[in-house]
Structure 1
Amino acid sequence: MDIVLIALPFLLKAALITIFLAVVSMAIGLVIGLITALARVSKNKLFYNMATFYVSLIRGTPVLVQIYLVYFGLPQIGITLGAMTSGIIALSINTGAYLSESFRAAILSVDKGQTEAAHSIGMTNWQSMRRIIIPQSVRTAIPTVGNTYIGLLKETSLVSVITVTELLYQTTLIIAKTFQPLTLYAAAAVIYWLICTGFNVLLTWLERRSSRHLNV
Structure 2
Amino acid sequence: MDRTLADVWPALLNGLFTTVTVSSSALLLGGPLAVLLAAASRGGRLPRTVAGLYVSFWRGTPILVQLLVVFYMLPFLGLELEPPVAATLALALNTAAFQSEIYRAGLLAVLRGEIEAAKMLGLTAAQTFLRIEVPQAVHKMLPALVGEMQALVKNSSLVSVIAVMDVTRRAQQVAASTFRPLEAYASALLLYVGIGAVLAGIGLLVERRLTQGARQR
Alignment of 1:116 with 2:121, yes or no, is: no
Tell me the matched-pair count: 214
Deviation at 1:45, TM superposition (A): 1.5
Alignment of 1:18 with 2:19, yes or no, is: yes
Deviation at 1:28, TM superposition (A): 1.7
Over residues 169-206 of structure 1, what are the superposed CA-to-partner deviations in whole Å (9 max), with x where a residue is unaligned?
11112222222211101111111111211221111111
SS at match of 2:165: coil
- Please report the RMSD computed on the Cα atoms of aligned residues, expressed in angstroms: 1.6
Deviates more, 1:90-99 or 1:31-40: 31-40
Does the 8 Å CA contact 1:59/1:98 hold for their aligned counterparts?
yes
AA aligned to 2:30 is G
2:187 aligns with 187
Structure 2 segments unaligned to the other structure (5+ residues): none
Please, what TM-score do these two structures have when normalized by structure 1?
0.92
Please, what TM-score do these two structures have when normalized by structure 2?
0.92
5 Å matches for 1:29-48? 29-42=30-43, 44-48=44-48
Percent of aligned pairs sharing the same letter: 33
2:102 aligns with 102
Deviates more, 1:160-169 or 1:201-210: 201-210
5 Å matches for 1:115-154? 115-154=115-154
Deviates more, 1:145-154 or 1:131-140: 131-140
Distance in 2 between the 1:3 and 1:200 partners? 32
Structure 1 segments unaligned to the other structure (5+ residues): none
AA aligned to 2:185 is Y
Deviates more, 1:52-61 or 1:75-84: 75-84
Distance in 2 between the 1:138 and 1:36 partners? 17
Deviation at 1:122, TM superposition (A): 4.1
Deviation at 1:162, TM superposition (A): 0.6
Does the 8 Å CA contact 1:163/1:169 hold for their aligned counterparts?
yes
1:167 aligns with 167
